[in-house]
Structure 1
Amino acid sequence: MSIDAWRLWIVPMDPNLDKREFYRRVGTCLRTHEQIDLDISDIQMMSASHRGIKGLSEMFRIDGLSSVHLSNDMLDGFFLSDGIVLRMAVKQTSVAA
């Protein structure tokens, strides 16, 4: 992975969501919104129990829709060189298979 590589981490609201189902939904969304310049390989399904995610939840409390910028932070033993945390309300719609 190069120094300028990045990932979009998504923590699903349903912790029991199957990874295949998650990536199927993401792929459907990306195909539906082709104007979004994202590749499915840029996106990672993250567990709320991941050290970095746990560290973020302990470091910040974000109410409402907001964002936080991080730089050179240690999160529960996980180093994050640079990041942006977005708390978003995402409307879930049913997607035809």
Structure 2
Amino acid sequence: MKQGQTLKIGDFSFNDEYYVDFIATFKRFCNKGVASALLASAVKSAKKAGLSSVSLLARSNDKSVLKFYQNRGFNAVNSGEINGIYFTKMVQKI
């Protein structure tokens, strides 16, 4: 990611929680900090909005994705199944 590059994401909050619906990058941008920058932008937006946390759902069976979020300050708070797919709710208090 180049310095000065602007990231834009939509705002969505519920019960004082900023919800990140989806983060994805093209394969050629993997391991270059793009997803981390998008996530950091979401946390910054949540702080600016005066919200108390950022949350998202990650597939429970994708251990590398769960670790990615844990390494960025998110904690697993619960899990459940939606249409046969198991998800873990991850939350970062801010």
Same fold (TM over 0.5): no
When normalised by structure 2's length, the TM-score is 0.30
- Identify which of structures 1 and 2 has the higher relative contact order when contacts are C-alpha pairs closer than 8 Å and 6+ apart: 2
TM-score (norm 1): 0.30
Higher fraction of strand = 2
